[in-house]
Amino acid sequence: MIVFDQFKQTYFEECEDRIQEAEEGLTVMLDGGADDGVVNQVFRAIHSIKGGAGAFGFDTIVGFAHQFETTLDLVREGALSPDREMCTLFLHANDIVADMLSREQNDEEIPSDLGQDVLAALEKIVAGSGAVVADPLASTDAGNFADIAGVKAWRIHFMPHKGLLKTGNEPLFLLRALQDLGELDVDVDLDHLPSFSDLTADHVEDCYLGWDITLHTEAPRDEIVEVFDFVEDLCDLTIEPFEEPVDVSQADVPVAPEVPLVAAAKPAKEPAAKKAVQATKSSGSASIRVDLERIDSLVNLVGEMVIAQSMLQEQVRWLPIEVGGKIGEGVENLARHMRDLQESVMAVRAQPIKSVFTRMPRIVREVSAICGKDIRITTSGEETEVDKTVLENLIDPLTHMIRNSVDHGVEKPADRVAAGKTSHGTIHLSARHKSGRIIIEIEDDGKGVNRDAVWAKALKQGIVTPEATLTPHEIDNLIFKPGFSTAESVSEVSGRGVGMDVVKRNVSDMGGRITVSSVPGEGCKMTLSLPLTLAVMDGMVVSVGSQRFVLPTVNIVESFQPNSDAISKLTEGVNIIQARGEYVRVIPLCDVFHIDDAILDINEALLILLEGDDGQRVAVMVDDVLGQQQVVIKSLETNFSAVDGISAATILGNGDVALILDVPGLSDMRAKIDLKQEVLNHALSKKEALDQGVAIEQEEGVCNECSD
């Protein structure tokens, strides 16, 4: 049963690829690219799914996929010319196959009415096509006795290579798939089976059996070959027409026994040299399928090794130089190899973001049709790789963002023409790596964020107060507040006020950030910044009193001892500092996390200048910098509620647990330091006055006015 479940899981994993292949092909067909290669790609994908479903007894999937396949076959043979409406129907059919597969994988019952409307539409297309299936009796090959008798037969020799079972393929399932095509006569080839005395535990996953099969079917040879698609490089396979003894008295035409079969109809057996080439090709396969759980286990083990290596480094520090020198050198080598190992393991989990990007054009088409808009989507950076876990969690947020751009961003054709734009809008979806993170941007050429409408709605919903003073950038980002929506009515696209809030929460759960920037009348750009991996990161360990914290090195600009002349006091305990030509807030971590034994005087502490993904900077006040090290990220969300400014935790080399700080979250912690935004805005607008040394008392007077 365990082995059977493994084969079934392999089938479902392969079906994910087949569904994706079918959708990609159907998308090309929808855009008018229905050439033979694309149609065959879709047909073969659905046919493969149907064959596997039959092997596992998924009869509902077999029935639906068969009708889908029949319709595609008519397109493939030229009996049907697919238009946009038909291709859209095919996409819906592909969705239903995917839904059925998902339900079978999760051991859920498939509703009896699932896809019945699409199935009826497919049947209607086939019935109205007027296509005539070729009569097998109409063969002009007088020498093919099987055709004369009205029955075709094929002789199949199937000899799997030893390692076939290790790839997750099961020969018996292939035989069941052949059985779906017709009647089978099977002889087992035992010539390669070793004696029982020679069998050991090393042979348990090797395949030694072969099969000689006679298949009575009207299916063409190509359809038989497709059954072996997944194992063509893992076996020796011959498929030849089979001359069955014919009862001549039952034939309706004269028999010509002297006429030989056409040579081309009976290919010669593959020479040994060709088989050797195939075996070499098989043994040199460029990839293997590995269960994701095994990779996750490997990632976890690497993480534990990183922690152990950090502990070893910590202990070496306390050894005498004469002893610790050589050991320390070895530990440094270990650290380098551990980093290489970690990067290699994470590369195994990395996948191109293309699998997510290819879903978006269809969403744009469907939503723009509902909204009465003409929108095109372009993409770049599809080969950018990201951790599989991040990739899977990215689908829903990205879908929400694309729908939002279509519904709220891009104007209708008439409005665009009136504004001097092209009648069709454009959404550009891109991905790239930057400083150890993946940056995804969704940019449209629409009307941009209507800040007046956003502000009015935020006031109405109590998100902001009339006295609040926000920058244009902050107004734009109000769209991520819970329950916020500028839609005047609820539709199937928008108006429920849950979309962008869900996006922000999902992105935050992945350790990411999302921002929006807009130019009225020109368009809007939403930017996602996500970690490449959720497992390991480079961090700077700092101390605040007796506590230890880790800051991501990708966010650190510099660390410095503050010059008292560069510090400006706004209110009691609230400071800003001039760093690299701009004023930034100073956030004492001792105040944020209520640490009593930390350095309280800013002139005696260290400041670390941090920069978020959106370019916003903040200076955090710490006691000391203890060093840089690679840390293993341990999620807190399973056992603890979210805390502003903290993204995760890690275990340091001395065994202590340290919190990993969230830099963008620290930037947003105005409430933690009791600083109203208008106070800071006023202070920043007075840079010149501060540079000239205006008395702090005057600034405090203004602040008091703001707080009234």
Per-residue model confidence (pLDDT) at position 708: 45
What order of strands is seen across the sheet that includes strand 536-544?
A: 624-632, 536-544, 547-552, 657-661, 646-651
Residues of the chain with pLDDT under 50: 1-3, 132-151, 246-285, 489-490, 495-497, 670-681, 683-684, 686-708
Per-residue model confidence (pLDDT) at position 524: 92
The contacts found for 97-106 with CB under 8 angstroms, 24 or more apart, are: 97/19, 97/22, 97/46, 97/49, 97/61, 97/64, 97/65, 97/68, 98/19, 100/58, 100/60, 100/61, 100/64, 101/12, 101/15, 101/19, 101/49, 101/61, 104/12, 104/56, 104/58, 104/61, 105/12
Per-residue model confidence (pLDDT) at position 625: 92
SS3 label, residue 524? strand
The pTM score is 0.60
Sign of the alpha-carbon dihedral angle for 95, 100, 105, 108: positive
Assigned token pair, 629: 């090290």
Alpha helices in 437-509 (DSSP H): 451-460, 472-476, 499-509
What contacts 360, CB < 8 A, 6 or more positions away? Answer: 377, 379, 398, 399, 402, 429
Spatial separation of the C-alpha atoms in residues 696 and 569, rounded to whole Å: 7
The DSSP bridge pattern shows strands 606-611 and 617-622 to be: antiparallel
Spatial separation of the C-alpha atoms in residues 381 and 632, rounded to whole Å: 28
Neighbour-count burial of 42, counting CB atoms closer than 10 A to its CB (0-12 exposed, 13-18 middle, 19+ buried): buried
Per-residue model confidence (pLDDT) at position 478: 84
Per-residue model confidence (pLDDT) at position 444: 93
Per-residue model confidence (pLDDT) at position 248: 38
Per-residue model confidence (pLDDT) at position 203: 58
Neighbour-count burial of 458, counting CB atoms closer than 10 A to its CB (0-12 exposed, 13-18 middle, 19+ buried): buried
